[in-house]
Amino acid sequence: MTSPSTPSVIAIDGPTASGKGTVASLVAGALGFHYLDSGALYRLVALASENQGVNLDNEPALGVLAAKMAVSFSDGKVFLEGEDVSEAIRTENMGVRASKLAVYPQVRRSLMDLQRSFRMAPGLVADGRDMASVIFPDAQLKVFLTASVTARAERRYKQLIAKGISVKMENLLQDLQERDVRDSKRGSAPLLVAQGARVLETSELSIDQAVKRILDWYQSASC
């Protein structure tokens, strides 16, 4: 149990393109809570390591880089060493690279304190893969948000096309499936339904319906 002075956390985990980022930030907005997009941190390590020419098989160097990189978040934007990299970290390439370096325990350890530092009053909504299982095991509400792989690929396809990025559906499906396997089968903090988590299947739900369900669950959990 958390003490009354510890700010509340809602942990929302789920696979790639499950919509958890959109849903989590709307839940945070509705409650006036802070928001942590933990995937952005892994994507930042991916970008920083590419910029610095650090190889993906060099776990110690990636761990040091993750501990030392200067990151900040402001007005919904992400900065690396003072540069706005909000768009640069969102590419499919950075997502795949992030998933590959996220298997390393040294990288995960380096990002642990940074993630926990987002827990501030009046509360936090945190999304990722191990928010409920590892980073905030005492979260007031744990949600595992998911959708079928086809629904997720279609959502991602529409997002990318809307941004003017051309992409083939079959490549997208294959990337998603490979990332699902890598994120779920790794030894360190794999994606899983944490003990006590409630599963929210969103293939047939609108964003508003998913947000409302989580707000209702949070209200019942806080009573």
Residues near ligand DC (CB under 6 A) are 16, 38-39, 42-43, 95, 98-99, 102, 128-130, 179, 183
**How far is the C-alpha of 169 from the C-alpha of 157, rounded, in Å?**
7
Whose Cβ is closer to ligand DC: residue 8's or residue 16's? Answer: 16
Whose Cβ is closer to ligand DC: residue 32's or residue 58's? Answer: 58
**How far is the C-alpha of 110 from the C-alpha of 166, rounded, in Å?**
35
Q: CB of residue 179 vs ligand DC: minimum separation in angstroms?
A: 5
Whose Cβ is closer to ligand DC: residue 33's or residue 42's? Answer: 42
- Which residues does residue 198 pair with via DSSP β-bridges, in sequence order? 143
In 3D space, the residue among 121, 126, 163, 168 whose CA is nearest the CA of residue 36 turns out to be 126
Q: Say whether 144 sits in a helix, a strand or coil.
A: strand
Count of other CB atoms within 10 angstroms of residue 15: 20
**How far is the C-alpha of 31 from the C-alpha of 3, rounded, in Å?**
20
Q: CB of residue 92 vs ligand DC: minimum separation in angstroms?
A: 10
Whose Cβ is closer to ligand DC: residue 115's or residue 140's? Answer: 115
Q: CB of residue 107 vs ligand DC: minimum separation in angstroms?
A: 9
Whose Cβ is closer to ligand DC: residue 152's or residue 213's? Answer: 152
222 CB-side CA count, 13 A: 13
Whose Cβ is closer to ligand DC: residue 178's or residue 216's? Answer: 178
Cβ neighbourhood burial of 108 (10 Å; 0-12, 13-18, 19+): buried
Cβ neighbourhood burial of 103 (10 Å; 0-12, 13-18, 19+): middle
Report the DSSP pairing between strands 77-80 and 71-74. antiparallel
Q: CB of residue 5 vs ligand DC: minimum separation in angstroms?
A: 26
Q: CB of residue 82 vs ligand DC: minimum separation in angstroms?
A: 22
Q: CB of residue 210 vs ligand DC: minimum separation in angstroms?
A: 16
Q: Say whether 54 sits in a helix, a strand or coil.
A: coil
Q: Say whether 124 sits in a helix, a strand or coil.
A: strand
